[in-house]
Structure 1
């Protein structure tokens, strides 16, 4: 990323001395986010060394990054790759396994083209689709191995009561199939607390992280979620929590502190609440209060 009107970075010939050094690449004069100007040597797909500008011995090819900002590769924490690239489709998007796999692959490669080397994509499981969409996403994940890391979140709808028995069984099957994250939509379940409890139980059984869709507009419900999720490893994420933007600031601040104390991550979506579009009478909300959440930790 250039911070000036400097031209595109160009490679400079180095002085390889043979052996493994011949395949190394030096990024020279790049500025880091903390303001330091450094040289970075890459080799074998890894960062071999970082030193002050001019400090690293010249080995292999060199790229002059003077005037450019060097950042770690970003990650996309909340995507729906199976339904991506369908906004302009005439009628409902095809849910055939072939089309789902193609869209997932194209979306992941599009994100990779913008620098995101890892993505977490949410996939609906259960209902008439069963596990077909998840299976297609997992095929795309395998085809992308070595290019991008794609983790699949299995997202059921109802998990409680008689109607939730099938959803709970499907969720367990999804994890067994290869879903790496246990998801859920507590706002769409008649028993939101029971839904969260079921998701946490499945995640604990399999040692998986949790990622829940929620509007986050009920302070008491978020407080209960924080109490239930606290201490779960490898961790709990919720989002988009756009409802927090509608709370009084003092209430939202207290909720943010409770979530932070429980080490619950809040994933904020710039476009607002994707879940609200599924609830009758809902309006598109503003994004969650990012500065307030960040201040709470």
Structure 2
């Protein structure tokens, strides 16, 4: 890799998932052409060339469902391992005394991990908190968004517990949130709470992103959400939708038909739901996923995110869209191409963002990963990556391995 420039006008040496070697030209943050390797005009300034020999060139990934305010809090909280409600209790107890600076520090570190791995757009749910200062999470993520705006686009969704008054929800929109959402299925009166959140979103004409039916066997609110928003023009998404994966085939297909008709985007969160769901099942533990295969087959707007990373809701996670894609393959039975689309083009579409990737006219948000093909990239998730946001190189990682006892003169490894 020879480039030292921030804004390359030519990428060469990379190959696409179809195996073709290409030259990619960039101008003004947009891909202007994708040509056979060696045919693009070479700029006189060598620093404008980004040499990606041995790398697979893809769209940058997007994270459609994050919780930046919670990220990295597991070590401080040391919560009991358990289900969703246990996680909520431990988080809210910690959050009552959590400072704004604590949130900024953890969120900043999390965003940089995402960017390093190839994510250039993040939608983060941010809790509205109990007490005298319920908006400190919103302010903290706003601070991080401002600090890192050259590296990544961050969208903020106010996550509204049922005991937070409507006045605070609307104040969060004034404080910088781009939309609202809630986990209405956990409220004492789920449909009443769903209607309250819908009314706020409609009144303020903002994005609506609901945590929806995150359980294996409780209430189903997805149908009501689809019915109430079918005539809306604003962006509506439903995260989790775990219950959709456990209802009867007849009910599932009816709900998916309603989702497709309404245009709701469904966001699966495999790692967190695989962790949180099924603790009460000692044998044949359910997968804890939404109906991934059925949604994709029905043509639903579909995306997937990592959700929680190293917090009470999930102690694991590598902040990597390729990890989420891998889980969609092994637990959701998608192909590698379908899975990667869910964390890249599908995620951007559900978030309302312009398309990106190595296609003429697309935004030059790109991920180059050392791999020979897409399945290899998802399976191995090489750390060797170059990330571009708006045509600018924003992260570069190179790894090095040694095998001291191996005769490297006779064995070549990569």
> Higher relative CO (CA 8 A, sep ≥ 6), structure 1 or 2?
2
Determine if the alignment matches structure 1 residue 112 to structure 2 residue 115: yes
Map of 1:252 onto structure 2: 252
Please give the TM-score of this superposition, normalised by the length of structure 2: 0.59
Give 1:281 shift.
Answer: 7.5
- Tell me the distance in 1 between the aligned counterparts of 2:273 and 2:287: 6
- Tell me the distance in 2 between the aligned counterparts of 1:113 and 1:255: 37
User: In the TM superposition, what whole-angstrom CA distance separates every residue of 1:135-166 from its partner, at most 9, and x where no partner exists?
Assistant: 111111111111111111101112xxxxx6x5
Map of 2:224 onto structure 1: 224
- Tell me the distance in 1 between the aligned counterparts of 2:286 and 2:251: 21
Moved more, 119-128 or 77-86: 119-128
| Contact 1:272–1:285 (Cα < 8 Å) also in 2 | no
Call closer, same or farther: CA 1:172–1:32 in 2, change over 3 Å: same
Call closer, same or farther: CA 1:145–1:233 in 2, change over 3 Å: same
Call closer, same or farther: CA 1:218–1:231 in 2, change over 3 Å: farther
Picking from 40, 53, 73, the partner of 2:24 is 40
| Contact 1:154–1:179 (Cα < 8 Å) also in 2 | yes
Give 1:33 shift.
Answer: 3.7
Map of 2:124 onto structure 1: 121
Map of 2:154 onto structure 1: 150
Within a 5 Å distance, the mapping from 1:187-266 to structure 2 comes to 187-215=185-213, 221-266=221-266
Give 1:169 shift.
Answer: 1.1
Moved more, 209-218 or 176-185: 209-218
Within a 5 Å distance, the mapping from 1:30-69 to structure 2 comes to 30-34=14-18, 36-59=20-43, 60-61=45-46, 62-69=49-56
Please give the TM-score of this superposition, normalised by the length of structure 1: 0.80
- Tell me the distance in 1 between the aligned counterparts of 2:36 and 2:231: 40
Picking from 282, 286, 289, the partner of 1:287 is 289
Provide the secondary structure at the position in 1 that maps to 2:265.
Answer: strand
- Tell me the distance in 2 between the aligned counterparts of 1:90 and 1:126: 17
Determine if the alignment matches structure 1 residue 267 to structure 2 residue 267: yes
Call closer, same or farther: CA 1:248–1:64 in 2, change over 3 Å: same
Unmatched tracts of structure 2, length 5 or more: 79-93, 300-414
Call closer, same or farther: CA 1:30–1:257 in 2, change over 3 Å: farther
Give 1:263 shift.
Answer: 0.5
Call closer, same or farther: CA 1:73–1:12 in 2, change over 3 Å: closer
Unmatched tracts of structure 1, length 5 or more: 1-9, 14-22, 159-163
- Tell me the distance in 2 between the aligned counterparts of 1:219 and 1:139: 37
Give 1:45 shift.
Answer: 3.9
Give 1:80 shift.
Answer: 0.9
Map of 1:88 onto structure 2: 75
Give 1:130 shift.
Answer: 1.1
